[in-house]
Each structure stands twice: as structure tokens, then as C-alpha cells.
Amino acid sequence: MSRKILQIQNLTKDFPSKKTTVHALSDVSFDVYEGETIGIVGESGCGKTTLGRCIVKAVTATDGHVIYTNKEGKDFDFLNVNRKTMKTLRKEIQMIFQNPYSSLDPRMTVFDIIKEPIIANYPKLSYDKVEEMVIDIASKVGLNVTYLKRYPHAFSGGQRQRIGIARALVLKPEVIVCDEAVSALDVSIQSQVINLLKDLQRDMNLTYLFISHDLSVVEYISDRVGVMYLGKMVEFAPTTKLFEQVRHPYTEALLSAVPIADPDIVMERIQLQGEIPNPANPPTGCYFHTRCHYCQEKCKVEVPVLQMVSEEHYVACHFVKELKLKSILDYTQAENVKG
Ligand SMILES: Nc1ncnc2c1ncn2[C@@H]1O[C@H](COP(=O)(O)OP(=O)(O)OP(=O)(O)O)[C@@H](O)[C@H]1O
Ligand code: SF4
Ligand SMILES: [Mg+2]
């Protein structure tokens, strides 16, 4: 059994302002095992980036725990460690950001961009050693090492994302949070970068938290998937189970909008009613009740908790036992295929 590398427990993040408080993340819990890829999906504003930023401690969570277990089996709670310990732990957990255009400093050469984390963590390392580390990781991510003294503007979007990946990997971390890491790229470049991430995962034994609003990409890359709605985890399951035996009405609606490669299959798209509610003023009961096709009176008053419905499959819905939801499998069956 592989190591439980991260335990996210009741993670909560509020952003208070003078007038109101945005509840960006509410009581999110799941475990991450060494070497796996967890996909995190959900509409814009549901808290995906906040979850990633709380995990790498780019922002401090309001409540909860992020427990990292190192190779020696020692546990560290990111929310309770001192600055010095956090500095060493940070090397193990890195984040790759969405926009390869704005996340790289245009005044620094690519060599200096990749070098920066090494200097910050090992200021006394010899120049030769630093150069060796930069060249090693640059070639691993498929960058032409003779171009490293150039500036980011001389590189294409896909190459810039490779620079961001090299920078995140140069200290050989264990966990990478990829926040919409391929969303800004053309589809053909997207698949190159996704395959690169998969190869690096195998070669460097990396663990990924892969945040994306693109369910097709998440299905392709993830071992398990978490679906978020308004700061909460509403469904969490192994990828195949989630796509073939969907159990939460919100996931059902999201999946119904995923394009299917087979033109003979006609999916019935579930149109979500209304707007996403304001996370500063979430609905009572089940947060999804204002848009759910299956809503009943109980949903408006009682909060459903995330519970196990079958092996490794967790759902937060009062009527999970009664509902018969449609998944991709139902549409691929003969009677649903045209002609
Ligand atoms: N620094 C901040 N201050 C105040 N509110 C914030 C801050 N960061 C995020 N939020 C709010 O928290 C909620 C969750 O935002 P977050 O960026 O995590 O969503 P997301 O799922 O990543 O969305 P997207 O798909 O658009 O990237 C949103 O309502 C957002 O406006
Ligand atoms: S608890 Fe009710 S409103 Fe919420 S997802 Fe389930 S059926 Fe829909
Ligand atoms: Mg985001």
C-alpha cells in the first residue's frame, strides 16, 4: 500500500472584508496517496484555486489541517508548523499556475527563473552545481538548453508552461498542485504538456493535485476525482466510478456537458437552473438546492454530509440512495445510439 502523503482535514478558508465574508472553502477533507493524481473539478469560483493555495500554504487556511507525511513517516501539519520548518517542507510541495504568460517574470532569463528556487533554498551551492541542476531539469521537461539565456517572451505558450514546470520541479518535490496548468494552451499543445506531466510523474514518482474545469482532461489524467460546489466537496470517487456511476446531481449535470467523441451518441444535456449562488451568502441546507432538479423540502433545510456510498465513493446528497442518475455508460448503450 502506498504512503498516505497528504491528509486534508476539514479545510476551511474564509475571506473576510469590511462588508461581508466569502466562504471560499468549507470543511473539505480527503487523503492523497503517493504517486496518484487527484483531479479537482467544479465551476468557476467553487474554490479550486483556494484549495490548492491553502494546501501549499500560499494562503493560510482559516481552519482544518493539511498533514504531510514525509518519506521517513513523520507527520507535519502545515497549519501548525513554524516558519523555519515550513521553509524546508515547501520544497516538497510546489504549485504550477494557470497562466504561463503572467506567472514568469519577463525581466529574468529562463535560466534565472529556473535557478531562483535553488538559490532561495541553497544559497551556498556552487555555481557549477546550480547550473547542472537547471540544465538537468530543463532537458527533462523538453526545453532546448541552448536557449536558457533567453527571456520568456521568446518562447511559445507551451514552452513557457514547460519553464513553469521546470521551476516547480527543480528542487525535486514530492507533490505538485497543477492549477489549470494546461487551460491556457491550444488543444494540441495541451496534450503534449499533459503527456509530459505523466512522464515526469512516472520518472520522478510525483503526486499530483490536478485542478481543472475541463472534465475530459481530468478524466484522462486522474486516478480519483473530487467535485466541488460552492466551497464544498460534493462527490469524490475513483475516476472510472465517477464517470460511469455518477451519484451526485451536480456531477451528473457537469458530465452531461462533456463532449463525447462518438457522433452517434446523443447526450441529454442537463441545463442547470439559475446562477451560481454568492459564496458570501450561500443557500440554506444543501448549497446546490437552488439549482438541483431533484430538490425536495428536506434539501432546503438540512445540510447533507459527505458519506461513503460504495467502496471509495463519497457523496453529499440526502437522496443518494433513491436517485437514478444518468452517466456516460447509459448513453453509450444501444437504445441511446442513433440509427
Ligand atoms: N484573495 C481573495 N479575497 C477575497 N475573495 C477571494 C480571494 N480569493 C478567492 N476569493 C473568492 O473565493 C471564491 C473561490 O475562488 P477560487 O479562485 O478558489 O475559485 P476557482 O474554483 O479557482 O475559480 P476559477 O475556476 O475561476 O479559477 C470566489 O468567490 C472568489 O471570489
Ligand atoms: S441534497 Fe437535495 S438539493 Fe442537494 S443534491 Fe441532493 S437532491 Fe439535490
Ligand atoms: Mg482557479
Q: What percent of the chain has pLDDT over 90?
A: 78
255 versus 13: the higher-pLDDT residue is 13
3-state helix, strand, coil in the chain (%, to 5): 35, 25, 45
* CATH number, residue 161: 3.40.50.300
Residue 334: the pLDDT is 47
Atom of ligand 1 nearest to the CA of 278: 29
Q: Are 279 and 196 within one domain?
A: no
Least confident of 36-45, 106-115, 163-172, 256-265: 256-265
Contact 179, 119 (CB under 8 A): no
Q: Are 162 and 308 within one domain?
A: no
Residue 339: the pLDDT is 45
Q: Are 199 and 117 within one domain?
A: yes
pTM of the entire predicted model: 0.94
Say yes or no: CB of residue 225 within 6 Å of ligand 1: no
Q: Are 292 and 205 within one domain?
A: no
Residue 1: the pLDDT is 67
From ligand 2's centre to the CA of 299, what distance in Å?
Answer: 6
Question: Is 233 a domain residue?
Answer: no
Q: Residue 301 corresponds to which cell in the numbers above?
A: 433545510
Indicate the residue among 227, 259, 277 that finishes a domain: 227
Q: Are 204 and 305 within one domain?
A: no
pLDDT tens track for 18-76: 889 999 999 999 999 999 999 999 999 999 999 999 999 999 999 999 999 999 999 99
pLDDT tens track for 17-28: 888 999 999 999
Atom of ligand 1 nearest to the CA of 228: 21
Counting Cβ atoms within 10 Å, is residue 258 exposed (0-12), middle (13-18) or buried (19+)? middle
Question: Is 14 a domain residue?
Answer: yes
pLDDT tens track for 117-129: 999 999 999 999 9
Residue 333: the pLDDT is 60
Rounded alpha-carbon distances, angstroms, from residue 93 to 164, 284, 313: 14, 36, 26
From ligand 2's centre to the CA of 241, what distance in Å?
Answer: 20
3-state secondary structure of 287: coil
Q: Are 41 and 115 within one domain?
A: yes
Q: Considering its fold, how many domains does the chain have in total? A: 2
* 175-179 β-sheet, strand order: 93-96, 175-179, 207-211, 37-41, 224-229, 232-238, 313-315, 307-310
Of 319, 321, 323, 324, the one to substitute when testing ligand 2's pocket (max ligand atoms within 8 A of C-beta) is: 319
Q: Are 180 and 323 within one domain?
A: no
Range of the domain at 316: 245-336
Q: Are 172 and 73 within one domain?
A: yes
